[in-house]
Chains A and B, each alone.
Chain A
Amino acid sequence: MSDFAIILRSLRARLFSTVTTVLTVAVAVGLLFVLLSMRDAGRQAFDRGSGNMHLLVTRDSSPMVSVLNSVFYANVPQRAIDWAKYNQIAAGFPLEWAIPVQQGDSYMGQPVLATTPEFFTRFEPSVGEPWKAAEGRLLRDKGGATLPGEAVSDDADAHAFEVVVGSRAAQATGLRLYDKIHLTHGIAQSRQLGAAAVSGDDGKTDHGGHVHKEYTFIVVGILEPTGSVHDRALFCHLEGGWVLHAHDRHNADHDCETHGEGEEGHSHAVGVGDLTDADRLITGIYVRVATRPGQQVSGALQTVFDQLRRDATIIVAQPNQQIMGLFRIIGSIDQIFVALAVVVMLSSGVGILLSLYNSMSDRRRQIAVLRVLGASRGRVFNLVLTESAVIGLLGAVGGLILGVIGAVVTSAVLKREIGLSITPSFGPEWMLLVTVATVALGVVAGLLPALLAYRTSVANNLRPAA
């Protein structure tokens, strides 16, 4: 027989109250733990999008907008960079690579990023985690290898209209290998070829974009998940994207001419060979400054950054710094969540107090008997206090289990719903801190009931009940 046995019997004697109180504490601890474990993980998830890119060059209104648009697909960048500027930047600085990207098209609401094959061979959406095709292949250079039995033509136009689909985009659209699709200019609900399109006969969509039925893209690859926002995008060759935009511009010019002569215009399909420098526009450049092999940071980065910033026609952003800035902005929201979890924790402490306090009227006789048998006031005080701490400890352990399950489920849901790959971090220091804090909360909550036990009159409570 030991003091601990007395405590366990006491908890068991009022099992329902004990279980509900422990559950209340566990839910609060679980909530707090999920928030704490996901906080750093959220920041890591945002880091995944920019990967091994050092700098981002655009013509957006600010570096932050630039990163949100060109890395996280928040909106379509409104201003373009011409090809001459791209060449100037790519050749004028000590860069490991400079990958042009163009946004502005979509497929069933999923953004389409037009780029070069380098995007898949040089850029890594997460450092050390290169792109991999789950099915098919990645974008290739013209004349590059195709898969055995692959039914794609290698002429210039056919090569331009290859498309690779991110894992989330494939889930969202149901696209499969070698499906043929029409892209939409703008962000709208274009559909797979053969499926019912939401666009009308005039090619306009309900979101203001229009479907380019003149150009059929073929899915040559489905990507493995990267855990970054790129998973929800489709990727095509830069020439494919340029052709769509060139087609609109050429036809607009043609319409003006024919309308001027009072005739009805006809749609003329522009090919890769028809592209001019005016069509070769991009919305951003992913840049990595030259580094030593195996190094992620370059000493030249700041110099290149400063030099690029002198060019008033472009915006240069360091994505990592912008993401940190973004977290500083949303940090206060984060703190509100943590504060809410702490409030829930405190209310669970009140729950422990009420549970023990209410039980004291039933336990006065038990306390009196313990005193008669030789237990001191201090020992009775400690018994109640330890009981309260045990409730806190059980709640903490239950909460940690709930927290781990909750964080894993939350990260799975985030990955499934928005393609954000978060690995919850269960640092032992957090586990220890949360456990100690919860036990301490239990002790504080047990002080009043323990005091009542301390002051229980033995003689009065030994009398037979009336």
Chain B
Amino acid sequence: MTSKDATTLPCAALEITGLSFGYPGAKRETVRVGTLSIAAGEQVLLTGGSGSGKSTLLNLVAGLLEPTAGSVRVDGRDIHRLRGPARDAFRGRTIGMIFQTFNLLPGFSARENVMLAMMLSGAGRGEQHDRASALLGSLGIDRPDADVARLSVGQQQRVAVARAVACRPALVLADEPTASLDPENANSAIGLIQETCRQSGAALVCVSHDPSMRERFARVESMAELSASMAGMASTASTASTGSHA
């Protein structure tokens, strides 16, 4: 299923329309997406070669970069219309992110890493502790108070997953979450991410250049096709414009 086939659902987790982005000084735009709609709870694999703009697209969706044009609606709100602290707070509440290198905070325990995400999204202290403990327990972390730097890579990844879903986000963005793992562990890790998102009801956009990931996702989007959809949009707009002039 591609974006062209997708029907727009009333409560889409992510809706992208006419999005483009280019780094300052670059000759061409790094990201071009005509339309992309992901329903609540839907899981999508985003593929593309190196430099195709996958990670940049995730940063645009998270509101960490400003698009040249277009809109990104997350859980029904255009994230780029939000400014400053409002956008940061919205991101904290609505979007969970998982990184290739996990980006856990060293010096903090596994539980504290999860609680930190909840704290920054406004959760109360009591809720932080209870939910973080429950999440880590369900993901098999038996040493929640250990410094994350002392956990195994597999356990670190579980903590990163727990942190991403701690605030019950509508959308989880996973950027090459298995790139540094061997195939067996990669398969296990992506399974964990998918299952956790499924249980929390979050939609998942997973970026990977690993072809073996395709069979794990019902829907796969490639950056090339998304870019082509942008070209199609431009062509349609041009035709419509010509017709109206005629």
Contact = CB atoms under 8 A, between A and B. Distances in A.
A interface, over-half SS: helix
Nearest to A8: B107
Contacts of A458: 59, 64
Interface stretch (B85-93, B187-195, B206-214): B85-93
Interface in A384-440: none
B93 A459 contact: no
A376 B103 contact: no
B128 A376 contact: no
Interface string A355-388: 0000000000110111111111111000000000
Contacts of B56: 459
B203 interface: no
A366 B105 contact: yes
B64 A374 contact: no
B88 A371 contact: yes
Contact of B64 (A1, A2, A9, A459): A459
B62 A372 contact: yes
Contact of B91 (A374, A459, A464): A374
Nearest to B55: A463
Contacts of A375: 88, 92, 120
A365 B103 contact: yes
Most-contacted residue by chain B among A9, A12, A462 (CB, 10 A): A462
A465 interface: yes
Nearest to A14: B107
Interface string A144-155: 000000000000
A379 B105 CA distance: 17
Interface residues of A, number: 28
B84 A377 contact: yes
A459 B59 contact: yes
Contacts of B233: none
A195 interface: no
Nearest to A6: B116
B100 interface: yes
Given A374-B88, A377-B84, A1 B118 contact: yes
Contact of B117 (A5, A10, A373, A462): A373
A9 B149 CA distance: 14
Contact of A372 (B91, B106, B128): B91
Contacts of A369: 103, 105
A312 interface: no
A372 B107 CA distance: 18
B64 A372 contact: yes
A13 interface: yes
A9 B108 contact: yes
Contact of B89 (A2, A9, A372, A374): A374
A373 B112 contact: no
Interface in B118-177: 118-122, 125, 128, 163, 167, 175
A90 to B, nearest CB: 80
Contacts of B116: 1, 6, 370, 373
A377 B88 CA distance: 9
B89 A13 contact: no
Nearest to A368: B103
B112 A5 contact: yes
A139 to B, nearest CB: 72
A291 B212 CA distance: 106
B97 interface: yes
Given A458-B64, A464-B101, A9 B107 contact: yes
A12 B100 CA distance: 26
Contact of B120 (A370, A377, A465): A370
Contacts of B107: 9-10, 12-13
A465 B101 contact: yes
A13 B106 contact: yes
B149 to A, nearest CB: 10
A463 B125 CA distance: 31
A374 B92 contact: yes
B226 interface: no
A318 to B, nearest CB: 66
Contacts of B89: 374, 376
A51 to B, nearest CB: 61
B101 to A, nearest CB: 5
A370 B105 CA distance: 9
Contacts of B105: 9, 366, 369
Given A13-B106, A372-B64, A459-B59, A1 B121 contact: no
A376 B85 contact: yes
Contacts of A371: 64, 88
Contacts of A374: 88-89, 91-93, 117, 120-122, 167
B33 interface: no
A375 B56 CA distance: 20
Given A369-B105, A374-B120, A1 B112 contact: yes
Contacts of B64: 371-372, 458-459, 462
Contact of B103 (A1, A9, A10, A462): A462
Contacts of A368: 103
Contact of A373 (B59, B85, B120): B120
A13 B167 CA distance: 26
A459 to B, nearest CB: 4
A1 B99 contact: no
A105 B167 CA distance: 89
A13 B108 CA distance: 9
A245 B159 CA distance: 95
Contacts of B106: 13
B225 to A, nearest CB: 24
20 contacts: A1-B118, A2-B119, A9-B112, A371-B88, A372-B62, A372-B91, A372-B103, A373-B120, A373-B121, A373-B163, A374-B89, A375-B88, A375-B120, A376-B89, A379-B88, A379-B120, A458-B64, A462-B59, A464-B99, A465-B101
Please provide the 4 A-B residue pairs with the shortest distance between their CB atoms, ordered closest to farther. A374-B92, A376-B85, A374-B120, A1-B115
Given A371-B64, A373-B120, 12 more contacts: A1-B116, A2-B125, A366-B105, A368-B103, A369-B105, A372-B97, A374-B93, A375-B88, A376-B89, A459-B64, A462-B175, A464-B99
Interface of A: 1-2, 5-6, 9-10, 12-13, 365-366, 368-379, 458-459, 462-465
